[in-house]
Amino acid sequence: MISDPLNIILLDTDVFSYPMEPGDPRGRPYLRHVEGRTTALSFITVGEVLFGAFWRGWGERRTAELKRRLEAAFILPLDHETSLAYGRLKSGLRRQGRALADNDLWIAALAVRHSVPLVSNNLAHFERVPGLVLISEAPK
């Protein structure tokens, strides 16, 4: 588990991606949650944003900027405890008829496992995850 004095927050893929889209204002409300904190990404987010760059055929300069941002972030890896959190969360949500997409559930499991807040614009996806501290600026 990561200790709180590090002041870590986990960024969901959407919040991490907003600054990569020129002129996209959706990231502005999240700046206050990120400033002065250590930002972490999930191994899932790394895969998702790299897929997006390759799929869209980003050029060398834009891909290099993405790689620079990824290298500056702390990446939370998959481990046994995260797998346990994932299994517990998925079974509990499924029993309630409130399933969540697997990639979102892995991200939530990392946040729960490490006791760090998740910053996401996907309020509807994550608000139902027990034990998850969610920071979102999405309208309710």
Please state, in angstroms and rounded to a whole number, the distance separating the CA atoms of residues 79 and 120.
22
User: Does residue 119 form part of some domain?
Assistant: yes
Using pLDDT thresholds of 50, 70 and 90, give the confidence band for residue 135.
very high
Using alpha carbons, select from 41, 17, 37 the residue that is nearest to residue 27: 17
The mean predicted confidence, pLDDT, of the chain is 92
The pTM score is 0.90
User: Does residue 55 form part of some domain?
Assistant: yes
High-pLDDT (> 90) share of the chain, %: 80
Sign (positive or negative) of CA dihedral 126, 130, 133, 137: positive
Name the residue range of residue 98's domain.
4-135
Residue 123: burial class (beta carbons within 10 Å; 0-12, 13-18, 19+): middle
CB atoms within 10 A of CB 6: 12
User: Does residue 50 form part of some domain?
Assistant: yes
Using alpha carbons, select from 4, 6, 26, 5 the residue that is nearest to residue 15: 26
Q: In this predicted model, what pLDDT tens digit does every residue of 37-75 receive, in sequence order?
A: 999 999 999 999 999 999 999 999 999 999 999 998 899
Task: Check whether 6 has a pLDDT greater than 90.
Answer: no
pLDDT for position 21: 78
User: Does residue 54 form part of some domain?
Assistant: yes
The amino acid at 103: N
User: Does residue 117 form part of some domain?
Assistant: yes
pLDDT for position 23: 83
User: Does residue 140 form part of some domain?
Assistant: no
Q: Tell me how long the chain is.
A: 140
Number of domains composing the chain: 1
Instruction: Calculate helix-pair angle for 102-114, 80-95, nearest 10 degrees.
Output: 120
Q: What is residue 120's three-state secondary structure?
A: coil
pLDDT for position 24: 85
Q: In this predicted model, what pLDDT tens digit does every residue of 98-125 receive, in sequence order?
A: 989 999 999 999 999 999 999 999 999 9
